[in-house]
Structures are given as C-alpha cells and as structure tokens.
A and B are shown apart, each in its own frame.
Chain A
Amino acid sequence: MKKTLEIVWIVLALLTVFAFLLGYLKYINVFLVGILLVSTFIKALLVIDHFMGLKEVRLTYRIIPILWLSLTILLIATAYYLPVEAVR
C-alpha cells in the first residue's frame, strides 16, 4: 500500500527540523538563505499537492497557488539578494 501521505509528513517534519537547526545554531549565511527558501518552496508545494489535494485537480486551479508560492519566494529572495545600494 502506498504511504505517500506519511512520506510527505516525514519530509515536512525533516525540513522543519533542518530549518530550526540552522536558525538555532545561527549558521545562516547568504548561501543558506537560498537553501532555506528552496526548502520552504518544497514544503509548501508538498502541502499544495498532497494535503490540499491539488495534484489531482486540473492545472488551472493548481497553478494559482503554485504561482503564488513561486512569486512569494522570488520576492523574498530578491529582497535578500539584491544589493542594498540598488534601492537607495
């Protein structure tokens, strides 16, 4: 029997532990911000596809939260990576 939901939950929990450890150990640098944003993207995508059940729905409805997620992560990444002088 497929255990997709259980695997999704484990991946979500592991990525959460990973993010917490990075924050706890204060190891965050520019490279790790990128890794954290990618891991956030993966976590959110898993929730959209498997918990919200949009993987089994026509692309029209699935694409809206995926676009939302991509744009949100992209905006956050831009704010973190764009040189500060560029907006001054």
Chain B
Amino acid sequence: MSKPLAVKASYPPGDFAIWIIIYVELLTFALLFAGYAFSRRSDIEMFNASQLLLDQTSGFINTLLLITSSYFVVKAVQSIKNMTAESTKESSLAASRWLLSALVLAGGFLVVKLLDFVHVFGQGITLSTNKFFMFYIILTVFHFMHVLLGSFILFVIYQKTKAQGYTQNDHKGMETGASYWHMVDLLWIVLFPLIYIIR
C-alpha cells in the first residue's frame, strides 16, 4: 500500500532573509573548519599537544546545553503552532516557559565558555601562540558572539511570547529567531569534535 505524499512547504520556516544569513554563516564557518583541518597537517604533533590543554569536559557540557536549548526552542515553536483560539493564553505561557528554559541554558553555555576562556587565556595563550590556538580562538570567540546574539534574539522572542504576541497564523518572527538559534547549535555540533576531540 502506498503512503500518501506529504505536502512540502515552499519556503523554510521564518523570514527568507534569515536563510540567506544562515547560508553565508555556514559557508564562513566551513572555510574556517577546513582551514583548521588542513593547517593541522603542517604540524600534527603540535596540534595534538595543544589540544590536550583544552578542557574537553566544558566542550561536552556546552554541547549538551546547546542541543537541549535548541530542543526547547522547537517545543516553544510547536506550542504556538498548536495554539487554538481558545488556548491562546495557555499556549503562549507554555511557549514562553520553553523559551525561558532555552535562555537559561544559553546563559549556561556563555558562563561555561567564559570559564573556558579564562582557563585558556590564564595560561598566557594568545592568537599568536601557535596555529592551533589561533584557530581555536577565532572559531570559539566567533561562535561565542553568535551565541550572544542568539541569546538576545531568544530574549526578544520570549518577551513577545509572554505578551501573547504570537498566534498560530502569525509567528514568523519566532521561527526566524528559532532558525538562527538552531544554526548556532549546528555550528557547535561540528566545532566540538573537530577542535576538542578528533586528533
């Protein structure tokens, strides 16, 4: 028996412009990832020794924080999508709770990463220490700035959700912010094993 074909949406969720930004960001990070991987070939021993100075546990905790935060954001969007005329207040409240939880985890990521930076920079490591740390600092600081911006966007969405500003038919702004946040998560998913684990 053949399954009925699911109708696919014509455009990705959120504002179309955010997808242009997302694709450009992905490309930028891909170049940095490839740059790191190929630069490593020039001095594998130095890269491996430098990697040992990183705190893998903080990278691991941060990965869990980001994927869970991303999951909470999807749940928030789902709450709004499933909203009915009778459940506006309850759905908005549920969505705002999911977003607040996502924000708390985003804050957790920033704190853990800041402690990680204190640990690394406390050892006198700078951009010019060696090529590994040059890539480590560029990639992680650049990503950190994306998390900061993403957290601000989540906060704005949270405020609007709490004020019942989104409805089942009008939540494009929420999906736009959510898409940006998932991109931040996606980038970290590649960054974590590349910088912290693979040797």
Contact = CB atoms under 8 A, between A and B. Distances in A.
B138 interface: no
Contacts of A72: 30, 33-34, 190
Interface of B: 6, 8-13, 19, 22-23, 26-27, 30, 33-34, 37-38, 40-41, 44, 56-57, 59-60, 63-64, 67-68, 70-71, 73-75, 78, 175, 179, 182-183, 185-186, 189-190, 192-194, 196-199
**DSSP class of B's interface residues: helix, strand, loop or mixed?**
helix
Given A24-B56, A58-B9, 7 more contacts: A5-B78, A16-B64, A23-B60, A47-B70, A50-B74, A56-B6, A69-B190
A16, A36, A65, A71: which has the most chain B beta carbons within 10 Å?
A16
B196 A65 contact: no
B75 A13 contact: no
Given A64-B23, A65-B26, A79 B194 contact: no
Q: Which 5 A-B pairs have the closest CB atoms?
A: A79-B37, A23-B197, A20-B60, A75-B34, A9-B71
Nearest to B56: A23
B185 A51 contact: yes
Given A16-B63, A52-B179, A52-B182, A5 B74 contact: yes
Contacts of B11: 57-58, 61
Given A5-B75, A47-B185, A61-B19, A68 B9 contact: no
Nearest to A51: B182
Nearest to A22: B197
A46 to B, nearest CB: 9
